[in-house]
A and B are shown apart, each in its own frame.
Chain A
Amino acid sequence: MSVRMPLADALEIGTRIPPLERALTQVRMVAYGAATWDWHRLHYEPAYASARNLAGPIVDGQMFGALLAEALLDWLGPRAFVRRMTFRLRTTVFAGETVRCEGEVTSVVTEQDCDVIRVAQRVRVGERIAVEPASAEIVLSR
């Protein structure tokens, strides 16, 4: 069984998190709404959205949390533990748009038997910034 090991010793301030791109298709949004028991019509009903002056069904804000966490754990491996995440939503993202999660290391601190990595992240949709500021604190056991 191959389990990728953490990379803490190779990290420094400014090290980039490998970007994660994801097309947030209407199908994916419906699947996410079902998986999270969120049946709100804003996420899948075009007429409901347009009646509220929206260009289309809108992406659930917590989807960005899931994607930002995915980017961190893909990067730091299976023993990494995300201890904190915080993010602010800046613009609405609509069904069918593709998002790109980016970020970089802001500090690496050794605490007792672990390394704590802090990062800044953001989510882009083309030229728009959808999520920023965003930050996270990840624990890697030594």
Chain B
Amino acid sequence: MTAIGALLTDELRGWIGREVSYTAREEIGRASIRYFALAIGDENPLYIDEAYARAAGYPSVIAPPTFVCETSQYAHRPPDQDGYIGHTWELPVKGCQMIRGGHDYEFFRPVLPEDRISVTWRLEDISEHTSSRGGSLLVVISSATCSNQRGELLARNRETLIFLPLEAAR
């Protein structure tokens, strides 16, 4: 069992506060919005029907709220060995399984097809805790703040990841 204090090294502490930004190469666009809605199975006409969206008071179709928080679309990274092309911190954590803990979203206004998104990821905090089984685990909290080409704030996603030593994960 991993002892408390063994996971949160000084090297790892040094990552707290790091930031990285990605800017999309193009606007979100109607096709991407329609594709996301189709994929999730959301048939809300706000995402595909211009006339309906205008009648509801929007300048055009809008994106489903959480779409902007899927930030792999803005990163420009080659696939890693897991196939993943999105943002990752590549933290120096060995022998752990990563588990997604949850999300806290704030939305500031609906995202429009014309929005070209920039996202800034910030590593907010890393802390070590006692797991329910008595061992140790790491909690990593990051935020992704999304704005558009005019600097208008669109959304913020605070994401919690948990790193559980493999001996405890099994």
A interface residues (Cβ-Cβ under 8 A, vs B) = 1, 3, 22, 28, 31-32, 34-42, 45, 48, 52-53, 61-63, 65-67, 69-70, 73-74, 78-79, 81-89
B29 within 8 A of A: no
CB of B65 closer than 8 Å to a CB of A: yes
The A contact surface, by secondary structure, is: mixed
Whether the Cβ atoms of A78 and B103 lie closer than 8 Å is: no
> In angstroms, how far is the closest chain A Cβ from the Cβ of B19?
21
Partner of B66, one of A52, A65, A89: A65
* Cβ-defined contact, B82 with A83, below 8 A: no
In Å, the complex CA distance between A86 and B52 comes to 29
Cβ of B7 within 8 Å of any chain A Cβ, yes or no, is no
A61 near B40 with CB under 8 A, answer no
Q: Is B56 part of the binding interface, using a Cβ–Cβ cutoff of 8 Å?
A: yes
B138 is an interface residue with CB less than 8 A from chain A: no
Shortest Cβ distance from residue B80 to the other chain A in the assembled complex, whole angstroms: 9
Q: A88 to B41: give the CA distance in the assembly, Å.
A: 22
Please indicate the chain A residues that have their CB under 8 angstroms from the CB of B55 in the complex: 1, 3
Contact indicator A79/B56 (Cβ below 8 Å): yes
Q: Are A36 and B36 in contact (CB under 8 A)?
A: yes
Question: Residues of B within 8 Å of A, CB-based: how many?
Answer: 47
Q: Which residues of A contact B42 (CB under 8 A)?
A: 66, 70
- B44, B65, B86: the one within 8 Å of A82 (CB): B65
Q: From A41, A74, A89, give the contact of B101 (CB < 8 A).
A: A89
B39 within 8 A of A: yes
B residues 152-170 near A (Cβ < 8 Å) are 160, 169-170
Q: Tell me the complex Cα distance, A66–B37, Å.
A: 9
Q: A35-B32, A36-B73, A89-B102 are in contact. Are A62 and B66 (CB under 8 A)?
A: yes
Cross-chain contact B84 with A73 (CB below 8 angstroms): no
Which parts of B37-76 form the interface with A (CB within 8 Å)?
38-42, 44-46, 51-53, 55-57, 64-67, 69-70, 72-73, 75
Residue B100, interface by CB 8 Å: yes
List the B side residues contacting A34 at CB < 8 Å. 35, 39
Which of A35, A39, A61, A74 is B35 in contact with, Cβ under 8 Å? A35
Minimum Cβ distance to chain A for residue B37 (Å): 9
Measured CA separation A64–B103 after assembly (Å)? 10
A95 CA to B72 CA, complexed, in Å: 21
A79 with B70, Cβ < 8 A, contacts A38-B84, A38-B86, A89-B101 known: no
Given A37-B85, A73-B44, 6 new contacts (CB under 8 A)? A35-B32, A36-B72, A66-B36, A66-B42, A81-B107, A85-B104
